[in-house]
Structure 1
Amino acid sequence: MKKIKIPLKLINLQDDGFHLLVEIVVFGEKHLAVLDTGASRTVFDKTLLNHHLTDITLAEDEHSEDHQATTLFTTSNTVLATLPVLKIGKLKLKKYTTVGLDLQSVNDTYEHLGHPVIAAIIGGDILRKFKAVIDYKKLVVRLS
């Protein structure tokens, strides 16, 4: 796989830090996701998953290694789902198994600050597997 360069958008969180957003395509629709180097794995908004999928499983044992989804935002009420296709730039992941969380409080905060809503948090599972390198000066992430 050759290197893929994906543009990022930097948003300011009231001078208390920032988040990097990346455009993704899931269920044939464009969405924004937070690029979170501190998240253990990629998670999606549970409402989005429920709207598009019928095969969603409640993660009964949230402490098992396969079901843990620790992010900056939350670690509770998880569901498991498989996305038919997840596109991040030119990267195309088929049958991607993900965790769904309630991201409403994150989106409420974003809307309050005048930022767009997010559908997901891209975490360490994808970033590590594809050797992500973030270029803050050029606002791009490179995957290989």
Structure 2
Amino acid sequence: MKKIIKINLLFVVVFLCACKYSTKKEEPVENQKFSLESYLIKDEYVKLELKKMSSGHLHIYGQLNGVKGNFILDTGAGATVIDKKNKEKFHMQAVNSGDEGTGAGGTGLQMLASEKNNFRIGELEMDELGLTLMSLGHVNKAFESMGLEEIDGVIGADILTNKKAIIDYSNLILYLKK
């Protein structure tokens, strides 16, 4: 019996010492706060701040071919579209794609294809990017009627899907994977 007590006492002492010298104190899972930002940054996402326009659109600045531009996000747009009147502003080479575009307030819009563009949003840089050019006059006319600044382009589902976008609407943050 004395031997069992000594073994149990030795076990308790070893257990207490191990607990005393443990350097990592973990909170119970139910007390831990999850941080979407921390999780995504560790997973190589870039955090980009958005502004909500009075029209309800999400706005972001970027640089296209080294030139600052004004863009909105449109999760329903199949492609990223640059206003064709800005072709020279952004130093874009373009060819007629033979396709016609349709968007809110516009149909039968001539589309141009532009390859090998450099698009930078915050810390995220996308090289050799293919983009579409078409008139966004109908969009800018609507913005003008609301007293809003014209946009240079629309960031569409091609970039949002390719960069595995996560939009935190409540905090107006766009996360894109590097």
Provide TM-score, normalisation by structure 2.
0.68
Q: Distance in 2 between matches of 1:130 and 1:54?
A: 22
Identity level (%): 29
Partner residue in 1 for 2:96: 58
Q: Structure 2: where are the runs of 5+ without partners?
A: 1-42
**SS of residue in 2 equivalent to 1:82:** strand
Match of 1:4 among 46, 59, 69: 46
Alignment: residue pair count: 134
1:94 is aligned to: 127
**Which amino acid in the other structure matches residue 131 of structure 1?**
K
Distance 1:73 1:131 in 2: 28
Q: Cα distance, 1:113 vs. partner?
A: 1.1
- For the pair 1:45 / 2:78, whether they are aligned, the reply is no
Establish whether residue 121 from structure 1 lines up as the match of residue 154 from structure 2. Answer: yes
Question: Which gives a bigger RCO, structure 1 or 2 (Cα 8 Å, sep 6+)?
Answer: 1
CA RMSD, 1 decimal: 2.0
Structure 1 CA distance for aligned equivalents of residues 68 and 145 of structure 2? 22
| Distance change in 2, residues 1:102/1:52 (3 Å) | same
The structure having more radius of gyration, on CA atoms, is 2
What is the aligned partner in structure 1 of residue 71 from structure 2? 33
Counterpart contact for 2:92–2:114, Cα < 8 Å: no
Q: Distance in 2 between matches of 1:54 and 1:92?
A: 17
> Cα 1:110–1:134, aligned 2, differ >3 Å: closer, same or farther?
same
Q: What residue number does 1:19 align with? A: 57
Give the distance between the partners of 2:149 and 2:69, measured in 1 at CA: 10
Which whole-Å CA distance do the structure 2 matches of 1:47 and 1:32 have between them?
14
Query: Which has more helix, going by share of residues?
Result: 2
Residue of 116, 129, 138 corresponding to 1:105: 138
Cα drift, residue 35 of structure 1: 0.3
Gaps of 5+ in 1: 64-68
- Cα distance in 2 for partners of 1:23, 1:127 equals 15
Compute the TM-score of the two structures, normalised by the length of structure 1.
Answer: 0.82
